[in-house]
Amino acid sequence: MGEPGAFCPVYAALNLLQEKWTLHIVRALLEGPKGFNELARAVGGVNPATLSQRLEHLVAVGVVEKRVESHMPPRTRYRLTEAGRELEAVIAAIEGWARRHLRAPVA
Protein backbone atom coordinates (compact mmCIF):
# COMPACT_ATOMS: atom_id res chain seq x y z
CA MET A 1 0.00 0.00 0.00
CA GLY A 2 2.71 2.51 0.96
CA GLU A 3 2.43 6.21 1.72
CA PRO A 4 -0.75 8.14 0.96
CA GLY A 5 -0.42 9.71 -2.47
CA ALA A 6 2.41 7.35 -3.50
CA PHE A 7 2.07 5.51 -6.80
CA CYS A 8 0.70 2.01 -6.32
CA PRO A 9 1.04 -0.12 -9.47
CA VAL A 10 -1.66 -2.59 -8.37
CA TYR A 11 -4.13 0.24 -7.73
CA ALA A 12 -3.31 1.82 -11.11
CA ALA A 13 -3.64 -1.49 -12.96
CA LEU A 14 -6.94 -2.35 -11.29
CA ASN A 15 -8.31 1.10 -12.13
CA LEU A 16 -7.47 0.56 -15.79
CA LEU A 17 -8.62 -3.05 -16.06
CA GLN A 18 -11.86 -2.62 -14.09
CA GLU A 19 -13.28 -0.15 -16.64
CA LYS A 20 -16.26 -1.80 -18.29
CA TRP A 21 -15.38 -3.48 -21.60
CA THR A 22 -11.60 -3.07 -21.22
CA LEU A 23 -10.76 -6.74 -20.67
CA HIS A 24 -13.33 -7.75 -23.30
CA ILE A 25 -11.53 -5.52 -25.81
CA VAL A 26 -8.14 -6.93 -24.88
CA ARG A 27 -9.46 -10.48 -25.07
CA ALA A 28 -10.90 -9.86 -28.55
CA LEU A 29 -7.64 -8.30 -29.76
CA LEU A 30 -5.64 -11.29 -28.50
CA GLU A 31 -7.09 -13.06 -31.56
CA GLY A 32 -5.38 -10.49 -33.80
CA PRO A 33 -5.83 -6.97 -35.19
CA LYS A 34 -9.38 -5.82 -35.84
CA GLY A 35 -11.18 -2.89 -37.39
CA PHE A 36 -13.60 -0.87 -35.26
CA ASN A 37 -16.79 -2.62 -36.44
CA GLU A 38 -15.18 -6.05 -36.30
CA LEU A 39 -14.04 -5.32 -32.76
CA ALA A 40 -17.52 -4.10 -31.78
CA ARG A 41 -19.00 -7.38 -33.06
CA ALA A 42 -16.34 -9.44 -31.26
CA VAL A 43 -16.95 -7.67 -27.96
CA GLY A 44 -20.74 -7.65 -28.36
CA GLY A 45 -23.08 -5.31 -26.54
CA VAL A 46 -20.82 -2.27 -26.29
CA ASN A 47 -22.15 0.96 -27.78
CA PRO A 48 -19.88 2.67 -30.33
CA ALA A 49 -19.24 5.77 -28.18
CA THR A 50 -18.08 3.65 -25.24
CA LEU A 51 -15.93 1.45 -27.48
CA SER A 52 -14.33 4.52 -29.02
CA GLN A 53 -13.66 6.00 -25.57
CA ARG A 54 -12.14 2.78 -24.23
CA LEU A 55 -9.95 2.35 -27.30
CA GLU A 56 -8.76 5.94 -27.05
CA HIS A 57 -7.78 5.38 -23.42
CA LEU A 58 -6.08 2.04 -24.16
CA VAL A 59 -4.08 3.72 -26.94
CA ALA A 60 -3.12 6.57 -24.59
CA VAL A 61 -1.77 4.18 -21.93
CA GLY A 62 0.07 2.02 -24.47
CA VAL A 63 -2.01 -1.16 -24.36
CA VAL A 64 -3.48 -0.83 -27.87
CA GLU A 65 -2.01 0.55 -31.08
CA LYS A 66 -4.21 2.36 -33.59
CA ARG A 67 -3.23 2.24 -37.24
CA VAL A 68 -5.02 4.19 -39.96
CA GLU A 69 -4.57 2.44 -43.29
CA SER A 70 -4.32 4.67 -46.33
CA HIS A 71 -7.29 3.37 -48.25
CA MET A 72 -10.36 5.25 -49.40
CA PRO A 73 -12.29 5.37 -47.24
CA PRO A 74 -9.58 5.22 -44.55
CA ARG A 75 -9.74 2.11 -42.38
CA THR A 76 -8.65 2.04 -38.78
CA ARG A 77 -7.19 -1.13 -37.31
CA TYR A 78 -6.45 -1.82 -33.67
CA ARG A 79 -3.94 -4.27 -32.29
CA LEU A 80 -2.35 -4.98 -28.94
CA THR A 81 1.05 -3.61 -28.10
CA GLU A 82 3.56 -5.79 -26.25
CA ALA A 83 2.08 -4.46 -22.99
CA GLY A 84 -1.39 -5.45 -24.20
CA ARG A 85 -0.25 -8.94 -25.20
CA GLU A 86 1.19 -9.42 -21.71
CA LEU A 87 -2.38 -9.17 -20.38
CA GLU A 88 -3.04 -12.60 -21.91
CA ALA A 89 -1.54 -14.12 -18.75
CA VAL A 90 -3.91 -12.03 -16.60
CA ILE A 91 -6.92 -13.16 -18.64
CA ALA A 92 -5.74 -16.79 -18.51
CA ALA A 93 -5.38 -16.53 -14.71
CA ILE A 94 -8.91 -15.13 -14.41
CA GLU A 95 -10.24 -17.90 -16.65
CA GLY A 96 -8.45 -20.57 -14.62
CA TRP A 97 -9.78 -19.17 -11.36
CA ALA A 98 -13.33 -18.95 -12.77
CA ARG A 99 -13.23 -22.54 -14.05
CA ARG A 100 -12.16 -23.73 -10.58
CA HIS A 101 -14.53 -21.62 -8.51
CA LEU A 102 -17.55 -20.45 -10.51
CA ARG A 103 -20.38 -22.45 -11.93
CA ALA A 104 -22.13 -21.74 -15.21
CA PRO A 105 -25.52 -20.08 -14.64
CA VAL A 106 -28.47 -22.44 -14.77
CA ALA A 107 -30.82 -21.52 -17.60
* Residue pLDDT tens, the chain, 107 long: 567 778 899 999 999 999 999 999 999 999 999 999 999 999 998 999 999 999 999 999 999 999 998 778 888 999 999 999 999 999 999 999 999 999 888 87
The H or E element containing residue 76 is strand 75-80
User: What is 8-43 written as a DSSP string?
Assistant: -HHHHHHHHHTSTTHHHHHHHHTT--EEHHHHHHHH
What pLDDT is attached to residue 89? Answer: 95
